[in-house]
Structure 1
Amino acid sequence: MGLKCAIGLMSGTSMDGIDIAVVETDGEQIVRRGSSGFFAYDATFRQRIERALEVARTIKDRDERPGDLADLEREITVHHADAVRAFLAAYPALRPDLIGFHGQTVFHAPDRGMTVQIGDGELLALETGLPVVWDMRANDMRHGGQGAPLVPAYHAALAASLDDENRMMPVCFVNIGGISNITFVPQEGDPIAFDSGPGNALIDQWIGLHTNMSFDADGRIAGQGMVVEEVVSEYLGSTFFTKPAPKSLDRNDFDLIHVKDLAVADGARTLAAVSARAIHASVRLLPEEPRLWIVAGGGRKNPHIVGDLRDAVAGSGKVLMAEDVGLDGDAMEAEAWAYLAVRAKRGLPLTFPTTTGCLQPVSGGLLATP
């Protein structure tokens, strides 16, 4: 099997824009990471997506598009096509074979066996002139899985690619987006993965509610506050944390009710502590403590989340940023979608019983051709 050059497109739970990345891969252990970029949504469009989350709660069938979801789906797809065109214009020597397209998650209810990502793969293929692999979560759910997380197959390939100095197995990849998820890669066997709890979403909502900003840049607001331990305990008392893995979250599964009476800075600092301690609490569901934690996603830029995680694992493990081991913490999920597109095209498993709870390893995705 020769290598394929794939573009990965990711618009995650932070809803701030489109991450795009290139990977050349066989869909197995060969991973050659290429260029990456980010195309931001403007504030008005981001607000439309946030409103769509409320509308999407009324969906009874995953093909339904109530309200303006159909229009929004088309616009999101066109935004992605524009991002691909701009990216290819910036890298004219690039000759991609296919695109891995995530779309925008607007509803995720694993207990109902339903996940909805808006984004039209057929339209994206026509707009870009490239084959598109999309809707990669649904087949996992049809086989009893949670539909998330899907990145662990890529994390396992990255773990195998680490240099000798950083191949400290077992390793745990942590992605801190709107929701945080972890992938535990053992010395041998399939990865173990699950959503660990709130990531940036609650902090972003809190900051947006009380300031004219959409996030706490570099944790500056949190830096003026203190951790309110009683509130941290209230969040970590959620039944979510006692559920066995695999498990996954919707962005709306946690809210701001416990911090509503706090000062702005205290709320931001406390929510950062919640994110970090929720990540570390995942150790209870792992066969052993990781020797190395590799942190990716936007939340790695919040020094309080990372600092609290370092404090929590001190003595048992080491916490490094993705960049510390030669990876790109901003592009990792987009890279994963490129990698998964190649795996899907080859019919290789995207998910495993240990990552989503599916009954057996399964592939997935739909293929759209221009």
Structure 2
Amino acid sequence: MIYHAIGLMSGTSLDGLDICHASFQHTSSDGWQFQILNADTVVYSPDLEKQLRNARTLAAEDLFELNASYGKYIGGQVRLFTEKHGLSSLDVIGSHGHTVFHQPHRGFTVQIGDGRAIKMVTGTPVVYDFRSADVLRGGNGAPLVPIGDKMLFGGYGACLNLGGFSNISMDFEGARTGFDICPVNIVLNHFSQLLGEPFDIGGRLAAAGKVDFDVLKILDQLDFYNVSPPKSLGAEWVSGEIMTLLSPLSPQTVLATFTEHAANQISLVLEKYAVKDLLITGGGAYNEFLLERIRLKTRCKIMVPAPELVEFKEALIFAFMAVLRLRGENNILASATGSEADHCSGLLA
């Protein structure tokens, strides 16, 4: 059977809403095969970006209102996408939602964008809220993409996503493991915007800056990096541990220093796990300076795929996870999240 699904992803870097339409087929001989058929990124309006960026500061009733309105917005964008590409038959939509809170140590994680609203607007079954059940089972609710990395991209030694946060997954000691490494674009984009750029194009701003080695040393010694996986990061941690440390510096110094910090942490992980070949996706894959710094610090062979996969791999995997949810098959790996067991997660609307 061939499944046609749409995956939706909104990351912490607030680049926009990624929409990926793909087909999936499973055979006994080849396992899961996929094809990306259509993909677009919907750039948020300044007003919506501001609402999402400030969502953590809202009163409860205002956050619930945004959850509903953002769900309707997502549904409307999916409907426009299906009309644009002439899509008439979809089996399911998998929506990650937009993360507002992520505090698994306190037993909760919150992604807004009500899946019921998406279904009401599109008329298509929707799987959403993938993370909460894992947190309730004692897991981190993250990372979730290792199931897709294992089943769709198992030919690579490891898969690294460079988005708001960097996260990696790989086979280790007989199981698929995965975890967040460090913040990336959630920090770099913020300080690039202070210099009038939406992001650090190619890493040129960082390359022209000077590293503050005293601050770099403090960053590299943050407690999180000594915690054994599974582990995950949230925007709250960045605000509390990172931004207060960086705010006294000039934006260009921050970009140089934090790019070096990200390269340090990523290369340490690659060396620790003896990764030989690495597939890099996410917006940070276009940061040539960051990749250059990682290459200088590791023996790992780095591969950046075609733009379609760079930009839409996470949305693709949420489409895949929704297909697994429809089939009643496990779509969360306990070895990656730290929950009590592999399980099938996501609410079905």
Q: TM-score, normalised by structure 2?
A: 0.92
8 Å CA contact retained: 2:98, 2:112: yes
2:227 to 229, 238, 243: 243
More helix by share: 2
Question: Which residue of structure 1 aligns with residue 159 of structure 2?
Answer: 173
- Between the aligned partners of 1:280 and 1:75, the Cα distance in structure 2 is 41
Q: Where does residue 58 of structure 1 map in the other structure?
A: none
Residue 329 of structure 1 aligns to a residue in which SS? Answer: helix
From 64, 75, 78, the counterpart of 1:81? 75
Displacement of 1:282: 2.3
Residues of 2 paired with 1:354 and 1:278: CA distance? 21
Partner residue of 2:318?
A: 337
Distance in 1 separating the partners of 2:198 and 2:47: 12
* Structure 2 residue 300 is the aligned partner of structure 1 residue 317: yes
Select the residue among 37, 42, 52 that pairs with 1:39: 42
CA deviation map 1:61-82 (0-9, x unaligned): xxxx715212211221122112
What displacement does 1:3 show?
2.2
What is the alpha-carbon distance in structure 2 between the residues aligned to residue 40 and residue 93 of structure 1?
A: 21
Equivalences for residues 147-296 of structure 1 within 5 A: 147-160=141-154, 167=155, 171-185=157-171, 189-208=174-193, 210-254=194-238, 255-283=242-270, 288-296=273-281
Contact 1:159 1:185 in 2 (8 A): no
Report SS of the residue matched to 1:191.
strand
- CA distance in structure 1 between the partners assigned to 2:295 and 2:57 by the alignment: 36
Structure 1 Cα separation of the partners of residues 296 and 57 of structure 2? 37
CA distance in 2, matches of 1:143, 1:70: 24
Per the alignment, residue 163 of structure 1 pairs with none
1:14 correspondence with 2:17:
no
**5+ long unaligned stretches in structure 2:** none
Rounded to whole Å, the distance in 2 between the matches of 1:207 and 1:54 is: 23
- Corresponding residue of 1:360: 341
C-alpha distance in 2 between matches for 1:360 and 1:238 = 30
Quote the residue 1:114 is aligned against.
108
Q: Secondary structure at the match of 2:175?
A: coil
**How many residues align structurally?**
342
Return the letter of the residue paired with 1:129.
G
Q: Any idea what the Cα deviations from partners look like across 1:164-205, whole Å, max 9, x if unmatched?
A: xxx4x5x1111111111101135x843110000111111122
Q: Distance in 2 between matches of 1:93 and 1:130?
A: 12
Percent identity reads 31
Equivalent AA in structure 1 for residue 201 of structure 2:
A
**What letter matches 1:216 in structure 2?**
D
Aligned to 1:99: 93
Please report the TM-score for the alignment, with normalisation by the length of structure 1. 0.87
Q: 1:327 to 1:128 in 2, by over 3 A?
A: closer
Q: Considering only aligned residues, what root-mean-square deviation do their CA atoms show, in Å?
A: 2.0
Secondary structure of 2:263's aligned partner: helix
Kept in 2, the 8 Å contact 1:98–1:131? The answer is yes
SS at match of 2:274: coil
Structure 1, unpaired ranges of 5+ = 56-64, 161-166
For residues 11 and 147 of structure 2, what CA distance do their matches in structure 1 show?
18
Q: Deviations over 1:107-158 (max 9, x none)?
A: 0001112100111111111100100011111111122110001111111123
Distance 2:25 2:332 in 1: 17
Which position in structure 2 is the counterpart of 1:146? 140
What SS does the aligned partner of 1:9 have? strand
Q: What corresponds to 2:283 in structure 1? A: 298
**2:248 counterpart SS class:** coil
